[in-house]
Structure formats: C-alpha cells, structure tokens
C-alpha cells in the first residue's frame, strides 16, 4: 500500500510540474512624442471594452507614439473615442460611450478636465468660448464653453441622433443621423437657434463638409437599416441641391474626407458588412458619377474603419480595425496610391486628425 | 508536436489495454460498477473515457442559497465569466466560448435559443438535486453547442412511497441587503408524486468599491429581485410506466450597475423563463423506452433610457426526444434516441422572422470487457434547417468514441475523441442589423485522455485525477464591427491543456478532515484566421485564464462541517492579440454548516463568508466584484428525522 501511495505521489508531482508557461504578460511602456507635427490616430477600442486610445504619428520621423492618454495620465481614457478637436492649447476628445468630452493639454496630454455629455460624437469649434457637441441618440446639440469646460446650453433639434456638423460664415449646419430625418439644419451660432431646415432628397444625413467652392456636401443614408446612401452637393446660402449621387443599395460608404485642396472627396466603402469589397474610393467635386472601382482596394477580410488625407503632403492614411479586439494597423499611401509605410496603433482606429 | 504526443499517449493507453488481456492466472473476483451519478443514461452508461465531475450533495447543500455561478466558480475549474455581482454569468469550459458550453436540465438543453448561452447566475442551486460537469465536447450525445463541456442539472427523481412526506423551508440574509427564502414540499403515494419548490431573493447589492476617480463609493443601480418556482408531478401508471410533468418558471429583475468608466447607469434587465417538460418512461426487462417533450420560453426586456434603448424579445424552443435503451447481459448496452429541436422568435423589429429546426438520430453503444475495459462508440446524424439562410437542410455526422480501462483497483485510464460542432444561433443568423445568414457551424474534434487514481489506506483516502485535452475548432464565430456588429466565421482555435482534481481525506475518530485541490492549465490560441494581417494568431483567446485552481480544506465533525475554499484565477487577456490583460485574483471563502435534530425536525444552519481577504478584483474588465461579504441561512426539514 505504501508503494501505491508513493506511486500516487510521483504522479501528482509529475502533474504539478506539467504546467510551465509563464503567465505574466510582458509589460508595455507607452512613450510620449517629442514636439512636432502630429497625425493623431483616434482609436475607438472595442465597444464596451474601454480601450479607447490616442496615438500620434510623426511623418517626419516615421515614428508612432501611444497610447498618449494612458502614458500621460496613468489611466485608460474610456469607451469608444469618436473624434477630437484642437482648441487653443488643448485637445478635446469625444469619448462616446463614456459620455464625456475629455480635455487634455496639447503639449503633454495631461487631463485638464472632463465635460459630461451624453454620447458625444463630434465637436464643432465656433470660437474660443463656444463649441457645439453632437450627441448620439439625443435630440439636441450641446453648447459648451471650451475655456471653462462647461456646458452652457442645449439646442433642441427636430430629429434625433445629432452627428456631423460644419461651420460656414457664422452658421452651423447639423446632421441628424436618424432614419426619420430628411433635413439638414442650419443654426445661427450667435443665437443658437435653428434658422432653416433644408430638405434633402435622402434619409439620415450623417456627415457634412465644405469644398473649395464653399459648397456643402452631405453623406446621407443608413445602409444596414435599408436606407441607401447618397452623396449630395448643395448651396449653403439657399439650400439648392446642386448634385446627387446615389449609391447602390448594398453599398455602405463611410468616413468621407477631403484632400488639402478641398477638390477631391475620399471615402471608404464596404459591402457585405465590411468584410469584403472594401476599399478607398475618391472622386472630384465635379465628377458626373460615383467611382466604380476603388482607388485603393482592400484586402479580403480587411476591416477599414479610418480614413484621412494629409492636407500638406496628400498622403492617404487608412486604418484597419481588424476584429476591433486587437491592435489596429495604419497603412500610409502616397497621393498616387503607392504604399509608403504602416504602423500599429490601439484597437479600433476610427479617425485621423492632422494637427498641423 | 502536441498532437503527436497526444496520439502517442492514446496508443499507450490502448496498448496497455491489449497487454492486460494476456493475464492467464485466476484472480480474485471483484464486482465493479459505477455509482449512478445521474438519471441520464448518457452520463451513467455511455460516457466512457470522458471526465465527469459530480458535485456532491454536501457541497450542493452548502451553496443552496446561491446560484450555479457561485458554485461553479468556487468549486470547479470551469471559468465563470461574471459581468459583476448583479450581471450575466456565462461558462467557459477549457477555453470555449459561452455559446459552446451546453446547459442541460433533466435532459433538455436550456440555453437561450437566440443567444445560444445560459446565464448561470439565474439558475438556483436550491432546485437541483444532482449537478454534473461533463468536460469536453460530445456533440453525438448532447447535440449542438456542446463543444467545451456541459453543465448537467437534474431535479429529484420521483419516489413512489406512500409514507413519504417532505417539507423543507429556509430563509437567509447577507451583506448588501441580500435576503432570500425557500420552500420545498413533496408528497407521494404508491402511484403518484408531487413536489413544489420556490426560491425568492432580493438584494440591493450596493457594495462599496473604488471608482474610476480612486474614491470609495457604493455601487448604484444594482438592485435584484427574483422569484423562481418549480412544480413536479409524476404518476406511476403501472410497474413499468411512469409519466411526469415539470414546470419551472422564474423571473429575474435586475438593475445593471455602471461600469467603472460609466458616470452612471439607468439600465434595467428583466429575464423571464418558463420551462415545461413532459416525460414518459417505460421500464423493460433489459432496458427502457422513454419520450420527453419540452417547451422553453425565454423573454428578455432591456431598457437603457439614457440612450433611448428599449429591447424586448421572446424566444421559444421546443425539444422532444424519444429513446430506447437496451442491455444485453452485463456487458453490452445500446442507446438510440431521436432528438428534435425547433427554435423560433416572437417577431420583432430586430428579428421579424427567425426559426431553426434540428432533427437528429443518435446512437451509443457501450461494451464492458473483463470487468475492466469499457468502450463506448457513439454517433449522431443531425440535420439543420435552414442553416446558412437557405431552406435546404444540411446534414452533419458527428461520431465519437471513448474507452476506459481499469489497470488496477486504484488506477483507471481513459481516453475519448469526439466530433463536435455548434450551429449558429438565431441571433447570429438573423439579428437585425448585423445578423449573418451565411454563417457556417463551428466544428472540429475534441480529444482527451487521463487517469483516475483512487486509493485508501486505513484512515486515509486519496483521489487524483488528471486529464489532458486538445480541441481544434474551425470556423470559430466572432462578432466584430464598428457601428454594426456582425458575426463571422473567422478563425481556427486550438485549445489544449491539463486539468487535475485531487483530494485526500483523513478520519480521526469522529472528525473527518479533507483537503482538495483542482487545477486547470488551458491554452486556447487562434491557430489561423481569415482576417488580413491578424495579430491574434498564436495568441490566447480573450477571457480564458491559462491557470486557475481551487483549494478546499476543512473538516466534518458529526453534523458540523467547515470548509475553507480558495480560488486562483490567472491573467486573462481582454483583446485577441494579448495587448490588454487583467490581473490575476484570488478569493478566500468559508462555508460553515451545522445540522441539529429538534424533536423530529432537522434544522440546518449555513453560513458563508465570501472573499474574506477582501480582494479587489474584476472578472470582466471594469465590472468590480464585491469585497468581503457574508451570507447566513437557517432551514428546516420538517419530520425528516422521523422518516
């Protein structure tokens, strides 16, 4: 019997020795960049995972730094960083699912304060003491004072899901990305009142921006909800529709941006919910039709989710979010579409901000 | 390399079995039979080579005021992914996902048909008389969704005894304004049996935690109210035929507390489940015939007024199974059964129309040779309509085999290999927006081998069990997306590892001491992926600790018992490329129980102190768990002593 127990003991010791892989992961250090021109990469993280992060790429050094917020503040930023704006000497970070705008120094990225806003999406700077913040799901635009980091007012909107905004000659144009919405709203920034509702020939306006001829472009539609996408060019002075480009029913164009000259539009287009047929498309502002082929085609099973065009060099930046649950990769192309470099950033790169 | 080692190990086991046949001397005759740990033949008679852990009745009694989540987290190597003290809790067997872990109640699957998962935090231990954990996949026996393992729960088997009356009730209270009450009564005659069980609980769950600003705060919006009732009636038609009806209803109303990064939460969730089961059994001279039919309705309401989100869905699952079990002599058994499963959703905006039908023919054959070797062969042919969004049925053949060999009275070797698969759920196929109707089932092979070493010497008993497992799953389904999440078949995941279960007991007069240790080492890594430039290849899949273990030490002295339980859960990665991770945590928990006879009644006192070292920890990122907390309960079995 003693022999049996001895054998049993040997078995147990053998078993205990079996597992030997080191469990503790390697420690990652985040570096802060030296002074210079930064291409910020806004990384959403995975929804509900709280891995929003901010990276900075310095094209001159071909170096990437981040997570800046975590490195500077010793804590995670929050959940789903959607966009950012540079106002004065501070960066205003819209952290959507954490329902706050985090304000950090533009030089050392240390947190200066937060502004509580429900599901902030985009921030439109109006002056040193005024900015608008759109708010997902809500029927309002928040008015904030960037200097005091306070909410100073609310503009009630006719539709829900305030989203993209654009400032033109003292008026703000606001999209409400709700499928019930068929108007672009014009707000007098002096009075914070809606002064005009511009009818659109499409549902769910999402993004609005200005071209070099001071004409507005609106990307509308919500393909997953069966509202086909449209690209609309209109005159901001009178709301006249100048051109309309209708996408196929299964196309889902996202993240439109313009080049530095503001004469060419770039956007990502995704078929089959993002996994196939994806790519970067571009078109001039006077094109008669949408481009049929991507300017830069995506690889199979690549999830492109961020797009930017360097206003100075014209380089094209695309962010591959992969499965949103790992570090994303940014690919840089020359303005001719030739690959130049790539680097890894935080999970879910969603936007670029050229802080020049 | 791992595969070669594993195959070598299997060969060694089989060689040992063949070698043992050459013995030519008469040996002492010993009759060996397995203790019936379940009323389910799939566990008792057709699980050769599989690791099955039965939770003993003493442990079940100690956790009778808790949910399955608490029991499994503290007593088994199954990783319970708990979204906070008042949130969802799902199972992770050997690196499987929640939807790959089957939950079976009295032989029927009860995972939510839309989600494919079961929230084990809503399954009261009080209702269950037997709880078994089946490690490893066996889709031939348990069907779709049994990839990592299965939690198999059973209620009391009807007893037809005219002298039997049983009433027990209890009440408990604990930290964070927890209070609970339970009642169970059963009465039977020579031909009939009725029982009723009720379990209700309320809690504020306002435990203190360190918030995002580093300040101690009380958890807001975390109230829980729940009630569950189970009725069971059985009638013995004659000596051979028995029918029974079981109804289980429960309603959980929960507030969902904020995550650490959330400034506040007004989220609320209501889960209602109705489970009806009708069962007929006919005992034959050499086997039995049975038929069962069940209807499960799971309803969920989720409200988050902060973002104007209001969801309501109801999903139905009809399951029926007819089977025949036949025994030839003492060594051969056959089980043939036909499971049919229909799932459908109450139409809603998110899913206007969704249904799925599964029809299968399954069989298992078990042979016992020389009272030493048990071999089981099993197979299932299953047809799913509509898989992948078309109306044509697609068939799957799911074979498996297991072998157990008693090398010595104190040592048993085992091995098994099973084809395993999981059909996409209704949500994965049809949820709007984001459902992907072209999804393929996840499928692969699951193999494991191990040994059990049991020995007794004088006042000592010793038990040691080791399992080595490996599993390859292709077309692993993962939800990904930015604005709209969509499931895709994107990866092949290879899981492998070692589990041990060890305990020793020592009797010293009236005192019985015990010391137990369970360990699990699990590597579950992405083997290949369709994603371009995927950084997850070769990396541990999220929320799968490589190491976890549980230690139990205590004593029983007459009707008094005390147990110290210590759990360790290792690093968990929260991203698929291991770029983010969570710290390991340990918890210490004490269970005390004492029974006392007063007149004819048996009184039970149960006390638990959980997380006695006040560890600040999170199982899921940004969902803090409570510090030290206690629970105490008093129960009585009326007239139990006299009976």
Residues A24-73 have pLDDT tens digits of: 887 777 778 998 899 999 999 988 888 999 999 999 999 999 899 999 99
Quote the pLDDT of residue B643: 52
Distance of CA B611 to the CA centre of its chain: 23
| % pLDDT > 70, chain B | 92
User: What percent of chain A is helix, strand and coil (3-state, nearest 5)?
Assistant: 10, 50, 40
Given a cut of 90, is residue B477 above it in pLDDT? yes
Quote the pLDDT of residue B6: 40
Q: A274 and B482: CB-CB below 8 Å?
A: yes
Provide the mean pLDDT of chain B: 89
Interface check A116 vs B, CB under 8 A = yes
Mean pLDDT of B24-28: 51
Residue identified by tokens 């935690």 is: B209
Quote the pLDDT of residue A96: 94
What confidence tens digit (pLDDT) does each residue in A265-282 have?
Answer: 999 987 655 455 689 999
Quote the pLDDT of residue B34: 56
Mean pLDDT of A113-124: 96
Mutate to test the interface with A, among B352, B466, B468, B481 (most CBs of A within 10 A): B481
Q: B532 and A48: CB-CB below 8 Å?
A: no
Quote the pLDDT of residue A5: 52
ipTM of the complex: 0.89
Question: pLDDT class for A300, splitting at 50, 70, 90?
Answer: confident
Given a cut of 80, is residue B468 above it in pLDDT? yes
Residues of B in contact with A151 (CB under 8 A): none
Q: A98 and B462: CB-CB below 8 Å?
A: no
Taking residue B310's Cβ as centre, other Cβ atoms within 10 Å add up to: 10
Residue identified by tokens 């086991």 is: B13
- Identify whether the C-beta of residue B212 lies closer than 8 Å to the C-beta of residue B260: yes
Interface check A21 vs B, CB under 8 A = yes
Residue identified by tokens 């999830």 is: A303
Interface check A269 vs B, CB under 8 A = no
Quote the pLDDT of residue B491: 86
What confidence tens digit (pLDDT) does each residue in B240-292 have?
Answer: 999 999 999 999 999 999 888 787 889 999 999 999 999 999 999 999 999 99
Quote the pLDDT of residue A337: 96
> How near does any CA of chain A get to the CA of B571, in Å?
7
Given a cut of 50, is residue B20 above it in pLDDT? no
Quote the pLDDT of residue A275: 55
Q: A8 and B535: CB-CB below 8 Å?
A: no
Structure tokens at B582: 């969570």
Quote the pLDDT of residue A314: 97
Question: pLDDT class for B399, splitting at 50, 70, 90?
Answer: very high
Quote the pLDDT of residue A277: 60
Quote the pLDDT of residue B388: 47
Alpha helices, DSSP H, located in B21-84: 41-44, 57-62, 68-75
Point out the least confidently predicted range of A41-45, B21-25, B127-131, B187-191.
Answer: B21-25
Using CB atoms and an 8 Å cut-off, which of residues 388-447 of chain B contact chain A?
410, 433-434, 436
- By Cβ distance, the residue of B259, B410, B478 closest to A4 is B410
SS3 sequence, B198-235?
A: EEEEEECCCCEEECCCCCEEECCCCCEEEEEEEEEEEE
Quote the pLDDT of residue B4: 43
Which of B196, B254, B199, B260 lies closest to B223 in space, CA to CA?
Answer: B254
Interface check B500 vs A, CB under 8 A = yes
Quote the pLDDT of residue A6: 53
Mean pLDDT of B55-60: 89
Mean pLDDT of B577-595: 94
Given a cut of 70, is residue B601 above it in pLDDT? yes
Given a cut of 50, is residue B9 above it in pLDDT? no
Quote the pLDDT of residue A8: 54
What confidence tens digit (pLDDT) does each residue in B495-545 have?
Answer: 999 999 999 999 999 999 999 999 999 999 999 998 899 999 999 999 999
What confidence tens digit (pLDDT) does each residue in B346-376 have?
Answer: 887 667 778 889 999 999 999 999 889 999 9
Mean pLDDT of A117-141: 96
Mean pLDDT of B571-600: 93
Quote the pLDDT of residue A3: 57
Interface check B577 vs A, CB under 8 A = yes
Mean pLDDT of B427-437: 86
Q: A118 and B307: CB-CB below 8 Å?
A: yes
- Identify whether the C-beta of residue B177 lies closer than 8 Å to the C-beta of residue B150: no
- Identify whether the C-beta of residue B542 lies closer than 8 Å to the C-beta of residue B579: no
What confidence tens digit (pLDDT) does each residue in A196-224 have?
Answer: 999 999 999 999 999 999 999 999 999 88
Interface check B580 vs A, CB under 8 A = yes
pTM value is 0.88
- Identify whether the C-beta of residue B148 lies closer than 8 Å to the C-beta of residue B442: no
- Structural domains in chain B, CATH included, are 18-642 (2.40.170.20)
The H or E element spanning position B141 is: helix B139-142
Distance in angstroms (rounded) separating the CA atoms of residues A138 and A131: 17
A154 or B86, which is more confident?
A154
Using CB atoms and an 8 Å cut-off, which of residues 97-136 of chain B contact chain A?
none
Interface check B455 vs A, CB under 8 A = yes
CB within 8 Å of B611: residues ≥ 6 apart: B587, B588, B589, B625, B626, B627, B628, B629
Size of interface A-B (CB pairs under 8 A): 163
Mean pLDDT of B434-442: 87
């Amino acid at each position: 019997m003693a022999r049996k127990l001895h054998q049993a003991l040997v078995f147990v010791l053998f078993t205990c020795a079996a597992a030997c892989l080191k469990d503790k992961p390697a420690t990652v250090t985040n570096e802060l960049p030296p002074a210079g021109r930064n291409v910020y990469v806004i990384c959403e993280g995975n929804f509900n995972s709280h891995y929003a992060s901010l990276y900075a790429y310095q094209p001159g050094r071909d170096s990437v730094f981040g997570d800046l917020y975590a490195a500077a503040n010793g804590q995670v930023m929050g959940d789903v960083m959607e966009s950012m704006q540079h106002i004065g000497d501070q960066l205003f970070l819209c952290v959507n699912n954490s329902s706050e705008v985090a304000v950090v120094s533009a030089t050392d990225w240390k947190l200066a304060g937060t502004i509580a806003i429900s599901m902030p999406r985009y921030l439109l700077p109006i002056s040193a003491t005024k900015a608008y913040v759109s708010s997902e799901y809500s029927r309002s635009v928040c008015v904030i004072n960037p200097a005091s980091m306070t909410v100073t007012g609310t503009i009630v909107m006719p539709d829900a899901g305030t989203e993209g905004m654009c400032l033109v000659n003292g008026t703000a144009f606001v999209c409400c990305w709700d499928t019930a919405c068929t108007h672009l709203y014009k707000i007098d920034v002096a009075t914070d009142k809606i002064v005009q509702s511009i009818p659109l020939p499409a549902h769910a306006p999402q993004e609005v921006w200005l071209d070099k001829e001071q004409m507005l472009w609106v990307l509308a539609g919500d393909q997953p909800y069966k509202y086909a996408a449209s690209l609309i060019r209109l005159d901001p002075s009178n709301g006249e529709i100048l051109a309309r480009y209708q996408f196929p029913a299964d196309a889902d164009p996202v993240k439109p941006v313009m080049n530095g000259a503001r004469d060419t539009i770039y956007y990502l287009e995704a078929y089959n919910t993002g996994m196939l047929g994806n790519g970067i498309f571009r078109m001039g502002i006077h094109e008669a039709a949408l481009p049929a082929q991507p300017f830069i085609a995506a690889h199979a099973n690549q999830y492109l989710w961020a797009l930017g065009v360097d206003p100075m060099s014209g380089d094209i930046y695309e962010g591959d979010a992969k499965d949103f649950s790992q570090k994303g990769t940014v690919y840089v192309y020359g303005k001719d579409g030739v690959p130049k470099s790539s680097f890894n950033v935080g999970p879910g790169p969603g936007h670029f901000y050229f802080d020049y | 390399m791992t595969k070669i080692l594993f195959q070598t190990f299997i060969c060694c086991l089989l060689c040992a079995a063949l070698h043992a046949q050459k013995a030519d001397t008469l040996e002492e005759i010993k009759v060996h039979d397995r203790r019936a740990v379940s009323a389910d033949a799939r566990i008792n008679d057709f699980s050769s080579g599989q690791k099955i852990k039965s939770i003993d009745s003493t442990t079940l009694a100690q956790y009778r005021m808790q949910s399955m989540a608490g029991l499994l987290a503290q007593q088994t190597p199954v990783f319970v992914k708990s979204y906070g003290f008042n949130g969802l809790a799902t199972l992770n067997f050997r690196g499987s996902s929640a939807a790959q872990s089957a939950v079976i109640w009295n032989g029927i699957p009860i995972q939510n048909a839309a989600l494919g998962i079961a929230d084990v935090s809503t399954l009261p231990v009080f209702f269950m008389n037997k709880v078994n954990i089946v490690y490893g996949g066996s889709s031939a026996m348990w069907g779709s969704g049994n990839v990592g393992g299965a939690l198999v729960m059973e209620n009391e088997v009807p007893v037809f005894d005219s002298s039997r009356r049983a009433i027990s009730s209890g009440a408990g209270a604990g930290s964070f304004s927890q209070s609970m009450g339970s009642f169970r009564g059963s009465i039977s005659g020579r031909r009939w049996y009725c029982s009723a069980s009720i379990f209700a609980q309320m809690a504020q769950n306002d435990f203190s935690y360190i918030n995002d600003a580093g300040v101690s705060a009380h958890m807001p919006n975390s109230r829980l109210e729940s009630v569950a009732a189970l009725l069971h009636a059985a009638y013995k038609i004659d000596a051979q035929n028995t029918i029974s009806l079981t109804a289980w209803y429960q309603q959980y109303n929960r507030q969902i507390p904020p995550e650490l990064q959330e400034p506040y939460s007004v989220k609320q969730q209501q889960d209602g489940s109705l489970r009806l089961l009708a069962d007929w059994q006919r005992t034959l001279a050499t086997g039995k015939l049975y038929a069962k039919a069940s209807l499960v309705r799971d309803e969920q309401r989720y409200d988050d007024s902060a973002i104007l989100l209001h969801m309501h869905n109801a999903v139905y699952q009809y399951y029926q199974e007819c089977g025949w079990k036949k025994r030839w002599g003492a060594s051969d058994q056959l089980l043939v059964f036909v499971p049919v499963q229909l799932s459908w959703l109450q139409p809603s905006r998110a899913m206007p129309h969704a249904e799925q039908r599964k029809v299968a023919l399954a069989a298992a054959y078990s042979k016992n040779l020389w009272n030493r070797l048990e071999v089981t062969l099993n197979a299932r042919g299953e047809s799913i309509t509509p898989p992948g969004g078309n109306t044509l049925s697609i068939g799957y053949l799911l074979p498996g085999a297991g072998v157990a060999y008693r090398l010595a009275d104190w040592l048993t070797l085992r091995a098994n290999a099973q084809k395993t698969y999981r059909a996409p759920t209704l949500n994965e196929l049809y949820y709007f927006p984001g459902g992907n109707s072209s999804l393929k089932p996840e499928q692969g092979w699951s193999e494991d081998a191990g040994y059990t070493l049991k020995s007794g010497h004088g006042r000592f008993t010793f038990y040691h069990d080791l399992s080595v497992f490996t599993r390859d799953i292709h077309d692993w389904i993962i939800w990904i997306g930015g604005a709209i999440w969509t499931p895709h078949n994107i990866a092949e995941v290879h899981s492998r590892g070692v589990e041990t279960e060890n305990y020793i007991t020592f009797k010293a007069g009236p005192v019985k001491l015990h010391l137990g240790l369970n360990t699990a080492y699990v590597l579950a890594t992405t083997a290949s992926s369709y994603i371009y430039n995927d950084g997850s290849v070769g990396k541990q899949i999220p929320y799968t600790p490589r190491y976890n273990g549980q230690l139990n030490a205590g004593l029983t002295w007459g009707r008094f018992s005390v147990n110290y339980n210590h759990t360790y859960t290792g690093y968990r990665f929260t991203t698929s490329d291991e770029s983010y991770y969570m710290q390991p945590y340990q918890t210490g928990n004490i269970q005390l129980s004492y029974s006392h006879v007063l007149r004819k009644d048996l009184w039970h006192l149960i006390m638990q102190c959980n997380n006695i070292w006040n560890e600040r920890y999170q199982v899921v990122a940004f969902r803090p768990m409570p510090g030290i907390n206690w629970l105490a309960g008093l129960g009585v079995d009326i007239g139990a002593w006299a009976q």
